Amino acid sequence: MKKPAFLKQPMMMRVVYALVPVQLAAIHLFGWRVLALVGVSCLAAFLVEWVMIPPKPGKLSQAVWVTGVLFGLSLPPTTPYWIAAVGAAFGVLFGKMAFGGFGRNIFNPAVVGRAFVFVSFPKEMTGHFVPAFRGFPGGFAQWSWESLKELPDALSASALNVVDGMTAATPMWSWRDFQHVTPLGDLTTGQIGAAFDYLGHTRLLAAGSAGEVSAIAILIGAIYLLWTRTANWRLMGGSLIGAVGMNLFLRNLLGMEAVPPLPFTLLSGAFLFVTVFMVTDPISAPRNLLGMWIYAIFIGAMIVFFRWKAVFAGGAGFAILLGNTLAPSLDLWIKRYREKNKAVKT
């Protein structure tokens, strides 16, 4: 069998390197099963691209590893392996190869795969969130929550068993359904999992998707991407501006109390993860600088809007898909406007 050849894409490999702190944090918080989940996602993404790669250039893109890692880390920690494989394969096939391969796709393949499994398997995708392991060595000494026979001592007082933990609410769901605000310190480190009381009933807080809960790890990756000039700072900054602006507009100006406080908005859910690693995807983002600002601000604002109005508590992935749809038109509109303005001046 012929050994597959890869296009040399140093920029894409730097994204993989930037995800290393996020991956290590995910293992610490949820156990080694997260690494297996990412491995299954990478393998499925690789096989689909290998089978579907077009004659030109005839080489696999190293970007396929970015897709696999991002998709795997965007899943709940105890997601069934078959769902990880199906989602990664779908994302590469219909989010990338259907458009002709790397560089021709308008959608981020990892987001396409995540949206597909969320819509197709809603029960599995919302019922496999678990609390994070606390302390050291944490998850480095565990395979996953599924391997536990009883809850750790830190949660034993809640009188809940592991099955209850499997159906616990994430910070975003807990805010929307129970008005429970997760401590900002826990959101920063990712060590989320304390029991809380709501109307006399004890509930257990789950931490969210594997790679999205540790703000520190994500910010380390962001610093590396910006320092190496791998990611465009305008895309990160625009997403932040959009989220801050929409949050302040809805909560402070219009008085919508269902919208969470600004620090909670920025640190909870997938906002930081997608802002650093997905909004900055150079293939699905606009090419011109003005378009980048509009695109990123739009996505940041839509994340907050979806969290407020949509039936699901997150919405980051769907906001990015809307932005991906808009990106080619932004490039075209801005180009035509400038050409028309230039023609008028001459």
| Per-residue pLDDT reduced to its tens digit, 267-311 | 988 899 999 999 999 999 999 999 999 999 999 999 999 988 876
Q: In this predicted structure, what is the pLDDT of residue 107?
A: 93
Domain boundaries, the chain: 8-126, 130-134+155-207, 231-345
Please give the helix or strand (H or E) that residue 266 lies within, else none: helix 262-267
Which residue in 248, 274, 271 sits closest to 261, CA to CA?
248
> How many CB atoms are located within 10 Å of the residue 94 CB?
17
Contact call for residues 171 and 269 (beta carbons, < 8 A): yes
Report the sign of the C-alpha dihedral through residues 321, 121, 190, 266, in that order.
positive
| Per-residue pLDDT reduced to its tens digit, 195-234 | 666 666 667 778 889 999 999 999 999 999 999 999 999 9
| Per-residue pLDDT reduced to its tens digit, 7-58 | 888 999 999 999 999 999 999 999 999 999 999 999 999 999 999 887 766 7
| Per-residue pLDDT reduced to its tens digit, 135-145 | 888 889 888 87
As a whole number of angstroms, the distance between CA 74 and CA 247 comes to 23
Highest mean pLDDT among 138-142, 160-164, 236-240: 236-240
| Orientation of helix 109-120 relative to helix 316-345, angle to 10° | 140
Q: Write the Ramachandran bin of 58: left for phi over 0, alpha for psi from -120 to 50, otherwise beta.
A: left
Q: Indicate the DSSP class of residue 205.
A: B
pLDDT above 90: residue 239: yes
As a whole number of angstroms, the distance between CA 210 and CA 73 comes to 5
